[in-house]
Amino acid sequence: MSEIEDPVATVVRLLSKNMWVVKEDGSLASILVSREWYDRELFKNYDGQITVGLTESREARLEISGRLRRRLGGLRVNVWATDKPSSSDSGKLIRQKMVEEVNRIVRQNRNKPNETLYYFAGVGQATGTHKAYHAGSAEELIPQHANWNELTNVEYEKIWYSDDNRYSKSHNVNGEYALMLFRFKIDSREKIVKKIVLAFEGYGTAPEANGCVLKVWHHVAGAWQIAGGGSGGGDESIVVTLTVNLSNYIDEDGYVWLLARTVNPSNGVTPAVLYCDYVSCTVTVNGITYLDIISYRNVDRVNVKPFVFCSEFSLVSWLFESVSEAT
C-alpha cells in the first residue's frame, strides 16, 4: 500500500501556503502555521500563530469484505493572537482576520486539500525557494550550468501573475535558442507525491517558425525529458503532467526543474524570443481528499497578561483506501 501523508501536515501546508492577512497599515501580517501547540515566545517575531492537531481518526468499511475503506479524521485548528505595541492591529482584530482566512481557505479547497499550487507571486532574488533564470545557447543547459542568469527583481514581477505583463528573453546569436529555467521548491516528501502538473503560459518566436518547448529535469538520468510544447506566436497554456516515477523529477533538495526554450534558433539577424507571462507547479499528494469546517468558537485566555485571543476550529477530513488482503 502506498504511503499516505499525515492529515495534520496536509492542513498545515494548506493554511500556510494560502494565508493572506493584511493589517490596517497595509502591510502583510506575519503568521506562523505549525503543529500543536501554541508558543508564547513566537509573538516576539510574529503577529499571530495557527496550530493544527489531530483529535481522532476513525475507519469505516464501505463494503462487506473491508477492502474499500474510508478514513475519517477530526482536526483541531487554533488561531492565536495577542496585543502588540508595535502592531497597527489589536490582537482581537488580527485574530478575527485569521479566522476569516481559515474559513476562506478551507471552503475554497474543501475538495482538494491535498493539492498545492506553487508559483512566483512575491518571489525575488532574495527568495530562497523558487527561482527563475534565462540564457541563450545552442543546447539545453543543465540546471547547474554557469551560463544561467537569474531574473532581476523587476523581471520576476512580470511572471508573478497571468496578466499579460510578460517577461521576454531575446537572443540574437546564429544557431542559438532563447531559454528559461524555473526551479520549484516542493514542500512534500517525494514518497507521498502522486501527481505533478507543470504549466507555462507564454510563447516563442524565431525566424524559421514560432513555438516553444517544455522539458522536465530527470535528475537520476541527468537529462531533460518529458517534452511538451506549442507552436503559436501568441500566449498559449502548455501543460506537462507527471504521474509515474515522480522521485526521478524531485531532486535530493526537493526541487523540480522546468526548462522552456524556443522551438527554433536565431539566424543571427532576427532574434529568437521567448515570452513568459506565468508559470506554475501543482503538486497532489496521497492523502486526505476532503476537508471542511464543523464549527468554531472563541476560547480567549484572560487569566494572563497580555490577554491571548484564541479561536478553536473543529474540522473533518477523509480519504478513501483500497486495502489488499495479506497473502
Instruction: For 47-71, give the DSSP string.
Output: SEEEEEEEEEEEEEESSTTS-EEEE
CATH number at residue 192: 2.60.120
For residue 145 the three cell numbers come to 550550468
- Bridge-partner residues for 273, per DSSP? 170, 205
**Residue written as cell 493572506?**
20
Burial class (CB in 10 A: 0-12, 13-18, 19+), 283: buried
Do 137 and 246 contact (CB within 8 A), yes or no?
Answer: no
The tens-digit pLDDT sequence of the chain (327 residues) is: 468 999 999 999 999 999 999 999 999 999 999 999 878 788 788 999 999 999 998 887 766 766 777 889 999 999 999 988 888 889 899 999 999 999 999 999 999 999 999 999 999 999 889 999 999 999 999 999 999 999 999 999 999 999 999 999 999 999 999 999 999 999 998 899 999 999 999 999 999 999 999 999 999 999 999 788 888 878 899 999 999 999 999 999 999 999 999 999 999 999 999 999 999 999 999 999 999 999 999 998 878 888 899 999 999 999 887 766 655
Neighbours of 73 (CB within 10 A): 22
Residue type, 119: Y
Single out the residue of 85, 98, 83, 91 nearest to residue 32, CA to CA. Answer: 98
Q: What are phi and psi of 284, to 5 degrees?
A: -110, 130
Asked if residue 2 belongs to a domain, the reply is: no
Calpha distance 96→99 (Å, rounded): 5
Region for residue 257 given its phi and psi (left: phi exceeds 0; alpha: psi -120 to 50; beta: otherwise): beta
Number of domains the chain contains:
2
Do 6 and 191 contact (CB within 8 A), yes or no?
Answer: no
DSSP, res 247: G
Domain that holds residue 293: 7-114+287-322
Give the pLDDT confidence score for residue 1 in this predicted structure: 44
For residue 164 the three cell numbers come to 499579460
Question: In terms of domains, do 14 and 85 share one?
Answer: yes
Question: In terms of domains, do 14 and 146 share one?
Answer: no
Calpha distance 16→30 (Å, rounded): 11
Do 291 and 63 contact (CB within 8 A), yes or no?
Answer: no
Question: In terms of domains, do 103 and 198 share one?
Answer: no
Question: In terms of domains, do 97 and 37 share one?
Answer: yes
Question: In terms of domains, do 30 and 151 share one?
Answer: no
Give the pLDDT confidence score for residue 57 in this predicted structure: 87
Asked if residue 38 belongs to a domain, the reply is: yes
**Residue written as cell 505595541?**
85
Calpha distance 226→249 (Å, rounded): 10
Asked if residue 252 belongs to a domain, the reply is: yes
Q: What are phi and psi of 173, to 5 degrees?
A: -115, 130
Asked if residue 162 belongs to a domain, the reply is: yes
Calpha distance 136→140 (Å, rounded): 9
CATH number at residue 296: 3.30.2000.10
Question: In terms of domains, do 216 and 309 share one?
Answer: no
